[in-house]
Amino acid sequence: AIQMTQSPSSLSASVGDRVTITCRASQGIGNDLGWYQQKPGKVPTLLIYAASSLQSGVPSRFSGSGSGTDFTLTISSLQPEDFATYFCLQDYSFPFTFGQGTKLEIK
Amino acid sequence: EAQLEQPGAEVKEPGESLRISCEGSGYSFSSYWINWARQMPGKGLEWMGRIDPSDSYINYSPSFQGHVTISIDKSIRTAYLQWSSLKASDTGVYYCARHVGSRGYGMDVWGQGTTVIVSS
């Protein structure tokens, strides 16, 4: 199975900050990676698919990049509603695998 | 609007069986895989498996194969996740989510999750 290593596991930041979260795959996955946001007690939502495509309805301050084994989610200017946990998911091959998650907290 | 409907919660004792459902509406049900994911209390997401409604083909994660069964009834647009003998370690929230079936496109619609509590 492909392992997804996500970092950092937690992050403190302030409103207005630029934030970057990374996922590294244990083998090449092309651009078959998505990023998800989950707020406490809520359902995960898809932010980015195919590594860099913005899901409909998602604010443009979210962006994704990368291909192969290294991927990045960037939030250009943090808003109060962005404090949540973020996961990556590879859907290149079965079994699909999630990263461990990054908890983004208010500094 | 595409939706996946799941029951809210189930409380069971160890050794009991359970089947939870995921009903799709507002989209072409056969055109999207249904995936299942587990989230244990305070933990991350774990992909369990998926079923393709068009041919009922199933892929399981090795971590869950043999312990759960995924199935589908296209006639009522519903996928299922079932256990024949629950353990306390099965306690968690179980989500279904649809996937368009092409690599890279992710899971764009999620159910609200079913909380499963297994306790004696």
> Minimal Cα–Cα distance from A48 to chain B, Å?
8
Report chain B residues touching chain A, CB-CB < 8 A. Answer: 35, 37, 44-47, 49-50, 59-63, 95, 97, 99, 103-108, 110-113
Does the distance separating the beta carbons of B110 and A34 come in below 8 Å?
no
Residue B52's pLDDT is: 96
Residue B104's pLDDT is: 86
Query: Which band of pLDDT confidence, cut at 50, 70 and 90, is reported for residue B101?
Result: confident
Which residue from A46, A94, A100 is facing B106, i.e. has the nearest CB? A46
Residue B1's pLDDT is: 96
Percent of chain A with pLDDT over 90: 98
Residue A65's pLDDT is: 98
Residue B20's pLDDT is: 98
Name the token pair of A65.
Answer: 């990049």
Whether the per-residue pLDDT at A68 is higher than 90: the answer is: yes
Q: Which candidate, B87, B79, B19, B18, places its Cα nearest to that of B50?
A: B79
Whether the per-residue pLDDT at B102 is higher than 90: the answer is: no
Whether the per-residue pLDDT at A38 is higher than 90: the answer is: yes
Higher pLDDT, B100 or A48: A48
* Residues A84-106: tens digit of each pLDDT: 999 999 999 999 999 999 999 98
Helix (H) or strand (E) holding B16: none
Mean per-residue pLDDT, B77-92: 98
Cβ neighbours around A21 below 10 Å, total: 22
Cβ neighbours of A95 in B, within 8 Å: 47, 49, 59-63
Name the token pair of A21.
Answer: 């979260």
